[in-house]
Amino acid sequence: MKKVSIIDSKICNLNSLINALKHLGINYQIINKPNRRLYGDGLIFPGVGSFSNGMKYLKKNNMVTLIKDYAKKKIPILGICLGMQLLTKNSDEFGKFKGIGLVDASVKKLTSRSKLAKVPNIGWRKIFINKDNPLINENDFFYHIHGHYVAEIKKNNILASINFDKKMITVAFQKNNIFGVQFHPEKSNDSGLRILNNFYKYL
């Protein structure tokens, strides 16, 4: 039976994600340090909070090496929220910080001139699929909570976007076997569960 590894980076609450995987009957294990004996068939990398704190924790616990090892072995990776952002090259949040660098993109601060598009972006927003992909197959509403977003990304890596302050911003990407979603599938009801299940079926 296929097994998904979940990174416990101490920068998120895993309960919602674990409950979603249990509901789907997905076999999983939680890892908080590198261990080659615990490699799974896929890796889910959730996270919330600041880019700098996330990278500090990952480096301190040698988790950057683990994530890069998964990528080298072509094991599928799914980054969620901050996890998605940390997979990129860098961020301008509270200064300039380097990311894991698996995806050619940068993380920028959300800005808005409209009262209808508040920063941070919190709540349900409809996504628009940019191209066919194994993860997302419907323009549906998903739960977002973020003040930064993935920018400067190659067009062919963009899976889905949202309209924020009359500008389309990336909320899902794919580079080979590396996926990222800015929204929280584990908090997005049936639509979110389908994404997690699609990732599992992709393994």
Q: Is 184 a catalytic residue?
A: yes
Question: The CATH number of the domain where 65 resides is what?
Answer: 3.40.50.880
| pLDDT per residue as tens digits for the range 53-108 | 999 999 998 999 999 999 999 999 999 999 999 999 999 887 789 999 999 999 99
Domain hosting residue 132, numbered range:
4-202
- Catalytic residue, candidates 81, 93, 144, 148: 81
Mean pLDDT of the chain: 93
Q: Is 93 a catalytic residue?
A: no
Q: How many domains does the chain have?
A: 1
Task: Compute and round to an integer the Cα radius of gyration of the chain.
Answer: 16
In degrees and rounded to multiples of 5, residue 74 shows phi and psi of 60, 30
Task: Specify the pTM.
Answer: 0.95
| pLDDT per residue as tens digits for the range 121-142 | 999 999 999 999 999 988 999 9
- Catalytic residue, candidates 93, 144, 146, 186: 186
- Catalytic residue, candidates 144, 146, 148, 184: 184
CA distances from 168 to 158, 161, 164, 192 (A): 11, 6, 6, 21
